Chain A
Amino acid sequence: MTAVWVALFDAGSEARSAAKHRRTAKALRVGEIIVLFVAMGMLILTGNRGMAEGDSLGAQLAATCASCHRLDGHDKGIPSIVGLDQKEFVDVMAAFKSGQRSSQIMHAIALSLNDGEIAALAAYLAAQPTGTKQR
Protein backbone atom coordinates (compact mmCIF):
# COMPACT_ATOMS: atom_id res chain seq x y z
CA MET A 1 0.00 0.00 0.00
CA THR A 2 2.77 2.34 0.90
CA ALA A 3 4.39 1.81 -2.47
CA VAL A 4 1.20 2.70 -4.26
CA TRP A 5 0.75 5.89 -2.34
CA VAL A 6 4.33 6.84 -3.00
CA ALA A 7 3.77 6.27 -6.70
CA LEU A 8 0.61 8.31 -6.60
CA PHE A 9 2.18 11.27 -4.95
CA ASP A 10 5.73 10.90 -6.00
CA ALA A 11 6.69 14.39 -7.02
CA GLY A 12 10.20 13.21 -7.73
CA SER A 13 9.19 10.54 -10.18
CA GLU A 14 11.55 11.94 -12.80
CA ALA A 15 14.13 9.90 -10.92
CA ARG A 16 12.73 6.84 -12.58
CA SER A 17 13.35 6.14 -16.20
CA ALA A 18 10.57 7.01 -18.62
CA ALA A 19 10.10 3.33 -19.37
CA LYS A 20 9.76 2.43 -15.75
CA HIS A 21 7.35 5.29 -15.27
CA ARG A 22 5.21 4.01 -18.09
CA ARG A 23 5.22 0.57 -16.51
CA THR A 24 4.17 2.11 -13.20
CA ALA A 25 1.42 4.09 -14.84
CA LYS A 26 0.17 1.05 -16.69
CA ALA A 27 0.22 -1.05 -13.58
CA LEU A 28 -1.70 1.66 -11.80
CA ARG A 29 -4.30 1.83 -14.53
CA VAL A 30 -4.88 -1.90 -14.31
CA GLY A 31 -4.89 -2.13 -10.56
CA GLU A 32 -6.06 1.32 -9.59
CA ILE A 33 -9.68 0.68 -8.90
CA ILE A 34 -9.10 -2.34 -6.73
CA VAL A 35 -6.24 -0.68 -4.90
CA LEU A 36 -8.01 2.61 -4.40
CA PHE A 37 -11.15 1.11 -3.06
CA VAL A 38 -9.33 -1.25 -0.79
CA ALA A 39 -7.41 1.80 0.36
CA MET A 40 -10.62 3.68 0.94
CA GLY A 41 -11.92 0.74 2.90
CA MET A 42 -8.81 0.90 5.03
CA LEU A 43 -9.34 4.61 5.53
CA ILE A 44 -12.75 3.87 6.97
CA LEU A 45 -11.50 1.03 9.11
CA THR A 46 -8.45 2.85 10.40
CA GLY A 47 -9.95 6.31 10.65
CA ASN A 48 -7.45 7.64 8.08
CA ARG A 49 -4.52 7.56 10.46
CA GLY A 50 -1.05 6.29 10.04
CA MET A 51 -1.32 5.00 6.52
CA ALA A 52 1.59 6.23 4.46
CA GLU A 53 0.99 9.68 5.85
CA GLY A 54 4.70 10.26 6.20
CA ASP A 55 5.34 9.41 2.56
CA SER A 56 2.72 11.76 1.23
CA LEU A 57 3.86 14.48 3.62
CA GLY A 58 7.49 13.92 2.63
CA ALA A 59 6.62 14.07 -1.07
CA GLN A 60 4.66 17.29 -0.64
CA LEU A 61 7.48 18.89 1.32
CA ALA A 62 10.08 17.66 -1.16
CA ALA A 63 8.14 19.46 -3.88
CA THR A 64 9.37 22.64 -2.19
CA CYS A 65 12.99 21.49 -2.48
CA ALA A 66 12.48 20.63 -6.15
CA SER A 67 12.20 24.33 -7.03
CA CYS A 68 16.01 24.45 -6.74
CA HIS A 69 17.33 20.91 -6.17
CA ARG A 70 16.83 18.29 -8.83
CA LEU A 71 15.60 15.13 -7.17
CA ASP A 72 17.21 12.77 -9.66
CA GLY A 73 20.81 13.09 -8.57
CA HIS A 74 21.81 15.98 -10.87
CA ASP A 75 23.94 18.41 -8.90
CA LYS A 76 25.22 21.05 -11.32
CA GLY A 77 25.29 24.43 -9.57
CA ILE A 78 23.02 23.27 -6.75
CA PRO A 79 23.83 20.19 -4.65
CA SER A 80 21.80 17.01 -4.87
CA ILE A 81 19.82 16.18 -1.72
CA VAL A 82 18.53 12.72 -2.54
CA GLY A 83 19.91 9.59 -0.92
CA LEU A 84 21.34 11.52 2.02
CA ASP A 85 21.69 9.89 5.39
CA GLN A 86 18.66 10.91 7.45
CA LYS A 87 20.62 12.03 10.49
CA GLU A 88 23.01 14.03 8.35
CA PHE A 89 20.06 15.76 6.67
CA VAL A 90 18.46 16.62 10.02
CA ASP A 91 21.79 17.96 11.34
CA VAL A 92 22.41 20.08 8.26
CA MET A 93 18.91 21.54 8.40
CA ALA A 94 19.43 22.36 12.09
CA ALA A 95 22.66 24.15 11.17
CA PHE A 96 20.86 26.13 8.44
CA LYS A 97 18.06 26.98 10.85
CA SER A 98 20.39 28.29 13.54
CA GLY A 99 22.49 30.19 11.00
CA GLN A 100 25.57 28.18 12.02
CA ARG A 101 25.79 27.13 8.40
CA SER A 102 25.39 30.15 6.15
CA SER A 103 22.96 30.33 3.23
CA GLN A 104 20.21 32.89 3.18
CA ILE A 105 17.97 30.70 1.06
CA MET A 106 18.38 27.58 3.19
CA HIS A 107 18.04 29.70 6.33
CA ALA A 108 14.62 30.88 5.14
CA ILE A 109 13.60 27.36 4.15
CA ALA A 110 14.79 25.76 7.39
CA LEU A 111 13.02 28.38 9.49
CA SER A 112 9.73 27.50 7.84
CA LEU A 113 9.96 23.78 8.61
CA ASN A 114 9.18 22.25 11.99
CA ASP A 115 11.01 19.20 13.39
CA GLY A 116 8.33 16.76 12.23
CA GLU A 117 8.46 18.15 8.72
CA ILE A 118 12.26 17.97 8.62
CA ALA A 119 12.11 14.34 9.78
CA ALA A 120 9.51 13.49 7.12
CA LEU A 121 11.68 15.15 4.48
CA ALA A 122 14.78 13.32 5.70
CA ALA A 123 13.01 9.97 5.40
CA TYR A 124 11.55 10.77 2.01
CA LEU A 125 14.77 12.13 0.46
CA ALA A 126 16.88 9.30 1.89
CA ALA A 127 14.63 6.82 0.11
CA GLN A 128 14.97 8.45 -3.32
CA PRO A 129 17.36 6.87 -5.82
CA THR A 130 20.47 8.85 -6.71
CA GLY A 131 21.86 7.07 -9.73
CA THR A 132 19.55 7.91 -12.61
CA LYS A 133 21.14 10.82 -14.37
CA GLN A 134 18.94 11.02 -17.43
CA ARG A 135 17.93 14.32 -18.95
Chain B
Amino acid sequence: MTWTRRKFGCFAGAGCLAALGKRAARGQVHARVVVVGGGVGGATVARYLAASAATLDVTLVEPKERYTTCFFSNFYLAGLRSLESLSHGYEKLAQQYGVKVIHDTVTTIDPVAKTVALQVGGKLNYDRAVVAPGIAFKFDAIEGYDEPATQVLPHAWNAGPQTRLLREQLESMEDGGVFAIAAPPDPFRCPPGPYERACLVAYYFKQFKPRAKIIILDAKDTFFEQDLFQDAWSRHYPGMIEWLPGQFTGGVKSVDVKTRMIKTAGETFKVSVANIIPPQMAGELAQRVGLSDKSGWCPIDPMTFESKLQPGIHVVGDAIGSGEMPKSAFATNSQAKACAFAILASLTGIERTEPHLFNTCFTILAPNDAVSDAINFKPEAGSIKIKDIFVSQVGESDELRRDVVRAADGWYAAFTHDVFG
Protein backbone atom coordinates (compact mmCIF):
# COMPACT_ATOMS: atom_id res chain seq x y z
CA MET B 1 0.00 0.00 0.00
CA THR B 2 1.30 3.42 -0.88
CA TRP B 3 0.72 6.02 1.76
CA THR B 4 -0.52 9.33 0.43
CA ARG B 5 -1.62 12.44 2.23
CA ARG B 6 -5.15 11.87 0.95
CA LYS B 7 -5.29 8.37 2.46
CA PHE B 8 -3.80 9.55 5.72
CA GLY B 9 -6.30 12.36 5.90
CA CYS B 10 -9.01 9.82 5.25
CA PHE B 11 -8.15 7.89 8.42
CA ALA B 12 -9.24 10.77 10.54
CA GLY B 13 -12.56 11.00 8.73
CA ALA B 14 -15.69 9.24 9.94
CA GLY B 15 -16.71 8.18 6.44
CA CYS B 16 -13.43 6.43 6.00
CA LEU B 17 -13.80 4.58 9.31
CA ALA B 18 -17.23 3.39 8.24
CA ALA B 19 -15.76 2.09 5.02
CA LEU B 20 -13.03 0.32 6.96
CA GLY B 21 -15.66 -1.17 9.20
CA LYS B 22 -17.35 -2.74 6.20
CA ARG B 23 -14.04 -4.13 4.98
CA ALA B 24 -13.38 -5.51 8.41
CA ALA B 25 -16.77 -7.19 8.39
CA ARG B 26 -15.83 -8.91 5.17
CA GLY B 27 -12.59 -10.01 6.78
CA GLN B 28 -10.32 -8.18 4.39
CA VAL B 29 -8.45 -6.05 6.88
CA HIS B 30 -6.99 -8.84 8.98
CA ALA B 31 -4.06 -10.66 7.51
CA ARG B 32 -4.53 -14.42 7.60
CA VAL B 33 -1.95 -16.91 8.74
CA VAL B 34 -2.63 -20.62 8.42
CA VAL B 35 -0.41 -22.86 10.53
CA VAL B 36 -0.32 -26.51 9.53
CA GLY B 37 0.70 -29.00 12.20
CA GLY B 38 -0.03 -28.81 15.92
CA GLY B 39 3.24 -30.09 17.36
CA VAL B 40 5.68 -27.88 19.23
CA GLY B 41 6.55 -25.80 16.14
CA GLY B 42 3.04 -25.16 14.88
CA ALA B 43 1.53 -24.54 18.31
CA THR B 44 4.30 -22.10 19.26
CA VAL B 45 3.99 -20.10 16.03
CA ALA B 46 0.20 -19.96 16.37
CA ARG B 47 0.37 -18.89 19.98
CA TYR B 48 2.94 -16.12 19.45
CA LEU B 49 1.17 -14.82 16.36
CA ALA B 50 -2.15 -14.81 18.14
CA ALA B 51 -0.67 -12.74 20.97
CA SER B 52 -1.24 -10.02 18.35
CA ALA B 53 -4.71 -11.36 17.56
CA ALA B 54 -6.07 -7.88 17.01
CA THR B 55 -4.38 -7.65 13.66
CA LEU B 56 -4.08 -11.26 12.55
CA ASP B 57 -6.44 -14.15 11.93
CA VAL B 58 -4.51 -17.21 13.02
CA THR B 59 -5.75 -20.68 12.13
CA LEU B 60 -4.09 -23.89 13.30
CA VAL B 61 -4.87 -27.08 11.39
CA GLU B 62 -4.10 -30.35 13.16
CA PRO B 63 -5.90 -33.69 12.76
CA LYS B 64 -5.37 -34.88 16.33
CA GLU B 65 -7.31 -33.55 19.32
CA ARG B 66 -4.29 -33.89 21.59
CA TYR B 67 -0.54 -33.90 21.15
CA THR B 68 1.74 -36.25 23.09
CA THR B 69 5.27 -34.94 23.52
CA CYS B 70 8.17 -37.06 22.31
CA PHE B 71 10.33 -35.31 24.87
CA PHE B 72 9.99 -37.03 28.24
CA SER B 73 8.35 -40.09 26.62
CA ASN B 74 11.38 -42.14 27.71
CA PHE B 75 10.20 -41.38 31.27
CA TYR B 76 7.00 -43.21 30.37
CA LEU B 77 9.00 -46.20 29.07
CA ALA B 78 10.80 -46.27 32.43
CA GLY B 79 7.48 -46.31 34.29
CA LEU B 80 8.20 -42.88 35.78
CA ARG B 81 5.43 -40.90 34.07
CA SER B 82 2.05 -41.62 32.54
CA LEU B 83 1.50 -41.04 28.84
CA GLU B 84 -1.47 -38.84 29.78
CA SER B 85 0.84 -36.48 31.66
CA LEU B 86 2.66 -35.91 28.35
CA SER B 87 -0.49 -35.14 26.42
CA HIS B 88 -1.67 -31.59 25.67
CA GLY B 89 -4.79 -30.15 24.06
CA TYR B 90 -5.38 -26.98 22.08
CA GLU B 91 -8.16 -25.45 24.21
CA LYS B 92 -5.99 -22.72 25.71
CA LEU B 93 -4.63 -21.66 22.33
CA ALA B 94 -8.22 -21.23 21.22
CA GLN B 95 -9.71 -19.73 24.38
CA GLN B 96 -6.90 -17.56 25.74
CA TYR B 97 -5.21 -16.51 22.53
CA GLY B 98 -7.98 -16.64 19.94
CA VAL B 99 -6.32 -19.18 17.65
CA LYS B 100 -8.89 -20.82 15.40
CA VAL B 101 -8.18 -24.53 15.78
CA ILE B 102 -9.43 -26.84 13.02
CA HIS B 103 -9.10 -30.61 13.45
CA ASP B 104 -8.71 -31.69 9.85
CA THR B 105 -6.02 -33.02 7.52
CA VAL B 106 -4.31 -30.81 4.97
CA THR B 107 -4.28 -32.49 1.59
CA THR B 108 -2.28 -29.88 -0.26
CA ILE B 109 -1.16 -26.26 -0.33
CA ASP B 110 -1.27 -24.07 -3.44
CA PRO B 111 1.51 -21.50 -3.01
CA VAL B 112 0.34 -19.49 -6.05
CA ALA B 113 -3.35 -19.22 -5.15
CA LYS B 114 -2.28 -19.12 -1.46
CA THR B 115 -4.79 -21.71 -0.34
CA VAL B 116 -4.61 -24.65 2.02
CA ALA B 117 -6.90 -27.53 1.00
CA LEU B 118 -8.46 -29.59 3.79
CA GLN B 119 -9.73 -33.14 3.55
CA VAL B 120 -13.13 -32.24 5.00
CA GLY B 121 -13.36 -28.50 5.49
CA GLY B 122 -12.78 -27.04 2.02
CA LYS B 123 -10.10 -24.41 1.44
CA LEU B 124 -8.46 -21.78 3.62
CA ASN B 125 -6.96 -18.62 2.15
CA TYR B 126 -3.75 -17.29 3.62
CA ASP B 127 -1.40 -14.37 3.40
CA ARG B 128 1.32 -16.43 5.07
CA ALA B 129 1.35 -20.17 5.74
CA VAL B 130 3.50 -21.98 8.26
CA VAL B 131 4.13 -25.68 7.83
CA ALA B 132 5.43 -27.69 10.78
CA PRO B 133 5.12 -31.27 9.55
CA GLY B 134 7.66 -32.98 11.80
CA ILE B 135 9.43 -36.04 10.47
CA ALA B 136 8.63 -38.94 8.18
CA PHE B 137 10.42 -42.29 8.17
CA LYS B 138 12.36 -43.71 5.25
CA PHE B 139 10.62 -47.05 5.19
CA ASP B 140 12.63 -48.29 2.23
CA ALA B 141 15.94 -47.93 4.08
CA ILE B 142 15.72 -51.11 6.18
CA GLU B 143 14.49 -54.17 4.31
CA GLY B 144 11.32 -55.58 5.82
CA TYR B 145 10.63 -52.47 7.91
CA ASP B 146 7.49 -50.94 6.44
CA GLU B 147 4.49 -49.24 8.00
CA PRO B 148 2.76 -52.52 9.08
CA ALA B 149 6.04 -53.68 10.64
CA THR B 150 5.86 -50.76 13.09
CA GLN B 151 2.96 -52.59 14.78
CA VAL B 152 5.34 -55.40 15.74
CA LEU B 153 8.68 -53.60 15.94
CA PRO B 154 7.73 -50.08 17.08
CA HIS B 155 9.80 -47.02 16.24
CA ALA B 156 8.15 -45.09 19.10
CA TRP B 157 9.72 -41.98 17.57
CA ASN B 158 6.38 -40.20 17.41
CA ALA B 159 4.93 -40.33 20.89
CA GLY B 160 1.53 -41.92 21.48
CA PRO B 161 0.31 -45.39 20.49
CA GLN B 162 3.80 -46.40 19.33
CA THR B 163 5.27 -45.52 22.73
CA ARG B 164 2.51 -47.45 24.48
CA LEU B 165 3.16 -50.49 22.27
CA LEU B 166 6.86 -50.45 23.09
CA ARG B 167 6.13 -50.16 26.82
CA GLU B 168 3.71 -53.12 26.63
CA GLN B 169 6.34 -55.21 24.85
CA LEU B 170 8.97 -54.32 27.44
CA GLU B 171 6.56 -55.20 30.24
CA SER B 172 5.77 -58.61 28.76
CA MET B 173 9.41 -59.39 27.93
CA GLU B 174 10.97 -62.26 29.88
CA ASP B 175 13.80 -61.58 32.34
CA GLY B 176 16.99 -62.41 30.50
CA GLY B 177 15.56 -61.23 27.16
CA VAL B 178 17.35 -58.95 24.73
CA PHE B 179 16.02 -55.51 23.83
CA ALA B 180 17.51 -54.02 20.66
CA ILE B 181 17.48 -50.36 19.67
CA ALA B 182 18.34 -49.56 16.05
CA ALA B 183 19.73 -46.01 16.16
CA PRO B 184 19.42 -43.97 12.95
CA PRO B 185 22.02 -42.06 10.91
CA ASP B 186 22.29 -38.26 11.23
CA PRO B 187 20.35 -36.08 11.01
CA PHE B 188 17.44 -37.33 13.09
CA ARG B 189 14.97 -36.10 15.69
CA CYS B 190 16.43 -35.82 19.21
CA PRO B 191 20.14 -36.71 18.97
CA PRO B 192 20.43 -37.97 22.59
CA GLY B 193 17.07 -39.77 22.39
CA PRO B 194 18.04 -43.37 21.52
CA TYR B 195 20.76 -43.40 24.17
CA GLU B 196 18.56 -41.82 26.83
CA ARG B 197 16.02 -44.49 25.95
CA ALA B 198 18.66 -47.16 26.66
CA CYS B 199 19.27 -45.55 30.07
CA LEU B 200 15.64 -45.35 31.10
CA VAL B 201 14.69 -48.81 29.84
CA ALA B 202 17.75 -50.12 31.70
CA TYR B 203 16.43 -48.38 34.81
CA TYR B 204 13.18 -50.31 34.39
CA PHE B 205 15.00 -53.60 33.68
CA LYS B 206 17.27 -53.17 36.69
CA GLN B 207 14.23 -53.27 38.97
CA PHE B 208 12.05 -55.86 37.23
CA LYS B 209 14.19 -57.88 34.78
CA PRO B 210 17.76 -57.65 36.08
CA ARG B 211 19.13 -60.30 33.70
CA ALA B 212 17.87 -58.47 30.59
CA LYS B 213 20.30 -56.98 28.07
CA ILE B 214 20.10 -53.95 25.79
CA ILE B 215 21.99 -53.74 22.52
CA ILE B 216 22.16 -50.57 20.49
CA LEU B 217 22.78 -51.24 16.81
CA ASP B 218 23.92 -47.86 15.58
CA ALA B 219 24.17 -46.60 12.02
CA LYS B 220 26.81 -44.15 13.30
CA ASP B 221 30.32 -44.48 14.73
CA THR B 222 29.88 -41.76 17.33
CA PHE B 223 26.92 -40.06 18.93
CA PHE B 224 25.97 -36.94 20.85
CA GLU B 225 27.18 -36.78 24.48
CA GLN B 226 28.76 -40.21 24.00
CA ASP B 227 31.18 -39.87 26.91
CA LEU B 228 28.37 -38.85 29.26
CA PHE B 229 26.22 -41.80 28.23
CA GLN B 230 28.98 -44.41 28.36
CA ASP B 231 29.99 -43.15 31.79
CA ALA B 232 26.36 -43.36 32.96
CA TRP B 233 25.89 -46.85 31.51
CA SER B 234 28.85 -48.20 33.42
CA ARG B 235 27.93 -46.42 36.67
CA HIS B 236 24.18 -47.06 36.74
CA TYR B 237 23.67 -50.19 34.63
CA PRO B 238 26.96 -52.12 34.58
CA GLY B 239 27.02 -54.96 32.02
CA MET B 240 23.49 -54.28 30.79
CA ILE B 241 23.96 -51.99 27.77
CA GLU B 242 26.10 -52.77 24.75
CA TRP B 243 26.59 -50.21 21.99
CA LEU B 244 27.70 -51.48 18.57
CA PRO B 245 28.84 -48.70 16.22
CA GLY B 246 28.19 -48.76 12.49
CA GLN B 247 31.82 -49.46 11.70
CA PHE B 248 31.61 -52.84 13.48
CA THR B 249 28.22 -54.00 12.21
CA GLY B 250 27.58 -52.02 9.03
CA GLY B 251 24.28 -50.93 10.59
CA VAL B 252 20.85 -52.59 10.45
CA LYS B 253 20.14 -53.86 6.94
CA SER B 254 16.96 -55.87 7.37
CA VAL B 255 14.43 -57.06 9.90
CA ASP B 256 12.11 -60.04 10.00
CA VAL B 257 8.86 -59.23 11.72
CA LYS B 258 7.80 -62.86 12.32
CA THR B 259 11.00 -64.09 13.94
CA ARG B 260 12.21 -60.75 15.39
CA MET B 261 15.56 -61.25 13.67
CA ILE B 262 17.64 -58.17 12.96
CA LYS B 263 20.37 -58.43 10.33
CA THR B 264 23.32 -56.11 10.10
CA ALA B 265 25.91 -56.34 7.30
CA GLY B 266 27.66 -59.28 8.97
CA GLU B 267 25.53 -60.60 11.83
CA THR B 268 22.03 -61.68 12.77
CA PHE B 269 20.55 -60.81 16.13
CA LYS B 270 17.58 -62.69 17.58
CA VAL B 271 15.92 -60.33 20.04
CA SER B 272 12.90 -60.29 22.34
CA VAL B 273 11.86 -56.70 21.74
CA ALA B 274 13.09 -54.43 18.97
CA ASN B 275 12.82 -50.67 18.74
CA ILE B 276 13.65 -49.79 15.14
CA ILE B 277 14.26 -46.06 14.69
CA PRO B 278 14.53 -45.65 10.91
CA PRO B 279 16.37 -42.96 8.94
CA GLN B 280 14.27 -39.81 8.69
CA MET B 281 13.23 -36.98 6.40
CA ALA B 282 10.84 -34.03 6.49
CA GLY B 283 7.19 -34.86 7.20
CA GLU B 284 5.10 -36.14 4.34
CA LEU B 285 3.24 -32.87 3.63
CA ALA B 286 6.57 -31.11 3.08
CA GLN B 287 7.45 -33.63 0.40
CA ARG B 288 4.03 -33.27 -1.25
CA VAL B 289 4.01 -29.47 -1.27
CA GLY B 290 7.55 -29.28 -2.67
CA LEU B 291 9.07 -27.76 0.45
CA SER B 292 11.88 -30.34 0.74
CA ASP B 293 14.90 -30.77 -1.50
CA LYS B 294 17.06 -33.76 -2.43
CA SER B 295 18.41 -33.95 1.12
CA GLY B 296 14.90 -34.84 2.29
CA TRP B 297 14.72 -31.68 4.44
CA CYS B 298 13.25 -28.23 3.82
CA PRO B 299 15.69 -25.43 2.96
CA ILE B 300 14.74 -22.18 4.73
CA ASP B 301 16.01 -18.64 5.20
CA PRO B 302 17.26 -18.72 8.82
CA MET B 303 16.26 -15.09 9.41
CA THR B 304 12.57 -15.67 8.64
CA PHE B 305 12.16 -19.47 8.28
CA GLU B 306 10.52 -18.81 4.93
CA SER B 307 10.95 -21.68 2.49
CA LYS B 308 13.65 -21.17 -0.14
CA LEU B 309 11.51 -23.23 -2.52
CA GLN B 310 7.96 -21.94 -1.94
CA PRO B 311 7.71 -18.21 -1.14
CA GLY B 312 5.01 -17.25 1.36
CA ILE B 313 5.30 -20.58 3.19
CA HIS B 314 7.43 -20.81 6.32
CA VAL B 315 8.72 -24.08 7.76
CA VAL B 316 9.86 -24.69 11.32
CA GLY B 317 10.96 -27.64 13.40
CA ASP B 318 12.40 -31.05 12.71
CA ALA B 319 11.51 -30.85 8.99
CA ILE B 320 13.95 -28.06 8.13
CA GLY B 321 17.50 -28.29 6.91
CA SER B 322 18.69 -26.65 10.09
CA GLY B 323 22.45 -26.46 9.59
CA GLU B 324 24.10 -27.01 12.95
CA MET B 325 20.86 -26.73 14.91
CA PRO B 326 19.68 -30.10 16.23
CA LYS B 327 16.19 -31.46 15.69
CA SER B 328 14.69 -30.98 19.13
CA ALA B 329 11.57 -29.56 20.74
CA PHE B 330 13.54 -26.71 22.30
CA ALA B 331 15.20 -25.79 19.00
CA THR B 332 11.82 -25.96 17.27
CA ASN B 333 10.20 -23.67 19.84
CA SER B 334 13.04 -21.19 19.39
CA GLN B 335 12.73 -21.29 15.58
CA ALA B 336 8.95 -20.91 15.85
CA LYS B 337 9.29 -17.67 17.82
CA ALA B 338 11.80 -16.24 15.34
CA CYS B 339 9.43 -17.25 12.54
CA ALA B 340 6.39 -15.71 14.28
CA PHE B 341 8.18 -12.38 14.81
CA ALA B 342 9.37 -12.38 11.19
CA ILE B 343 5.79 -12.91 10.00
CA LEU B 344 4.54 -10.21 12.37
CA ALA B 345 7.18 -7.85 11.03
CA SER B 346 6.13 -8.52 7.48
CA LEU B 347 2.37 -8.35 8.06
CA THR B 348 2.06 -5.72 10.79
CA GLY B 349 5.26 -3.72 10.45
CA ILE B 350 6.64 -4.28 13.95
CA GLU B 351 10.34 -3.86 14.36
CA ARG B 352 11.82 -7.25 15.11
CA THR B 353 14.87 -8.28 17.06
CA GLU B 354 17.71 -10.30 15.62
CA PRO B 355 16.60 -13.93 15.75
CA HIS B 356 17.80 -15.51 19.00
CA LEU B 357 18.13 -19.23 18.41
CA PHE B 358 18.87 -21.63 21.24
CA ASN B 359 18.82 -25.26 22.14
CA THR B 360 18.85 -27.03 25.44
CA CYS B 361 18.34 -30.76 25.86
CA PHE B 362 17.79 -32.20 29.29
CA THR B 363 18.92 -35.80 29.15
CA ILE B 364 17.95 -38.20 31.91
CA LEU B 365 20.56 -40.84 32.68
CA ALA B 366 18.83 -42.13 35.82
CA PRO B 367 16.05 -40.70 38.01
CA ASN B 368 18.63 -38.79 40.09
CA ASP B 369 21.15 -38.08 37.34
CA ALA B 370 20.56 -35.77 34.39
CA VAL B 371 22.80 -33.79 32.06
CA SER B 372 22.13 -30.89 29.75
CA ASP B 373 23.61 -28.94 26.92
CA ALA B 374 23.14 -25.28 26.08
CA ILE B 375 23.85 -23.89 22.65
CA ASN B 376 23.23 -20.55 21.05
CA PHE B 377 23.21 -20.21 17.28
CA LYS B 378 23.42 -17.50 14.70
CA PRO B 379 22.14 -17.32 11.15
CA GLU B 380 25.18 -17.18 8.90
CA ALA B 381 25.55 -17.43 5.14
CA GLY B 382 22.00 -18.73 4.72
CA SER B 383 22.43 -21.47 7.30
CA ILE B 384 22.43 -21.80 11.09
CA LYS B 385 25.79 -22.04 12.87
CA ILE B 386 26.74 -22.80 16.46
CA LYS B 387 28.07 -19.73 18.27
CA ASP B 388 28.59 -20.99 21.84
CA ILE B 389 28.13 -24.51 23.15
CA PHE B 390 28.28 -25.82 26.72
CA VAL B 391 27.74 -29.44 27.64
CA SER B 392 27.76 -31.27 30.99
CA GLN B 393 31.01 -33.03 31.84
CA VAL B 394 31.84 -36.51 33.06
CA GLY B 395 32.62 -36.47 36.79
CA GLU B 396 30.25 -33.72 37.91
CA SER B 397 28.94 -33.91 41.48
CA ASP B 398 25.83 -35.93 42.33
CA GLU B 399 24.29 -32.75 43.68
CA LEU B 400 24.72 -30.89 40.39
CA ARG B 401 23.22 -33.82 38.47
CA ARG B 402 20.23 -33.90 40.84
CA ASP B 403 19.76 -30.17 40.27
CA VAL B 404 19.53 -30.84 36.53
CA VAL B 405 16.80 -33.44 37.16
CA ARG B 406 14.84 -30.81 39.12
CA ALA B 407 15.42 -28.21 36.41
CA ALA B 408 14.29 -30.69 33.75
CA ASP B 409 11.05 -31.26 35.62
CA GLY B 410 10.40 -27.54 35.97
CA TRP B 411 11.37 -27.04 32.35
CA TYR B 412 8.80 -29.54 31.08
CA ALA B 413 5.99 -27.71 32.89
CA ALA B 414 7.13 -24.25 31.79
CA PHE B 415 7.92 -25.31 28.23
CA THR B 416 4.62 -27.04 27.54
CA HIS B 417 2.89 -24.03 29.08
CA ASP B 418 4.82 -21.80 26.66
CA VAL B 419 3.81 -23.96 23.70
CA PHE B 420 0.20 -24.92 24.45
CA GLY B 421 -0.76 -22.14 26.89
**B72 CB to nearest chain A CB (Å):** 13
Q: Is the CB of A36 within 8 A of B376?
A: no
CA distance A91 to B96 in the complex (A): 34
Count of CB-CB pairs between chains A and B under 8 Å: 142
**A19 CB to nearest chain B CB (Å):** 11
Q: Which residue of A lies closest to B23 (CB)?
A: A33
Given A8-B55, A41-B8, A67:B415 Cβ within 8 A: yes
Q: Is the CB of A38 within 8 A of B406?
A: no
By a CB distance below 8 angstroms, the chain A residues around B360 are 67-68, 105, 108
CA distance A33 to B51 in the complex (A): 17
Interface string of B239-256 (1 = CB under 8 A from A): 000000000000000000
How many residues on chain B are close to A (CB under 8 Å)?
57
* Docked complex: A69-103 residues within 8 A CB-CB of B: 69-70, 74, 76-78
CA distance A89 to B21 in the complex (A): 44
Given A61-B356, A68-B360, A108:B389 Cβ within 8 A: yes
Chief secondary structure at chain A's binding surface: helix
A132 in contact (CB, < 8 A): no
CA distance A66 to B416 in the complex (A): 10
* Docked complex: B353-402 residues within 8 A CB-CB of A: 353, 356, 358, 360, 372-376, 387-392
**How large, as a class, is the contact surface on chain A?**
35 or more
Given A105-B374, A112-B388, A21:B96 Cβ within 8 A: yes
Most buried by B among A43, A68, A70: A68
By a CB distance below 8 angstroms, the chain A residues around B372 are 104-105
* Docked complex: A31-86 residues within 8 A CB-CB of B: 32-34, 36-38, 40-41, 43-44, 48, 53, 56-57, 60-61, 63-64, 66-70, 74, 76-78
Q: Is the CB of A64 within 8 A of B8?
A: no
By a CB distance below 8 angstroms, the chain B residues around A68 are 360, 410-411, 414-415
A111 in contact (CB, < 8 A): yes
By a CB distance below 8 angstroms, the chain A residues around B344 are 9
Given A74-B414, A105-B374, A108-B375, A9:B389 Cβ within 8 A: no
| Selected interface stretch from B128-136, B141-149, B177-185, B330-338 | B330-338
CA distance A34 to B11 in the complex (A): 8
By a CB distance below 8 angstroms, the chain B residues around A112 are 356, 358, 376, 387-388
**B227 CB to nearest chain A CB (Å):** 16
Q: Is the CB of A77 within 8 A of B17?
A: no
CA distance A59 to B18 in the complex (A): 33
Q: Is the CB of B358 within 8 A of A109?
A: yes
Q: Is the CB of B391 within 8 A of A67?
A: no
Extra 15 A-B pairs, beta carbons < 8 Å, given A36-B55, A48-B351: A10-B51, A21-B96, A25-B54, A32-B54, A33-B24, A41-B8, A57-B353, A60-B341, A61-B353, A63-B48, A70-B417, A76-B409, A104-B390, A108-B375, A111-B376
Shortest 6 CB-CB contacts between residues of A and residues of B = A77-B410, A104-B390, A108-B374, A78-B410, A28-B54, A112-B376
15 contacts between A and B (CB under 8 A): A10-B51, A11-B48, A25-B98, A28-B54, A32-B54, A41-B12, A60-B352, A64-B358, A68-B410, A68-B411, A76-B409, A77-B409, A78-B407, A108-B388, A112-B387
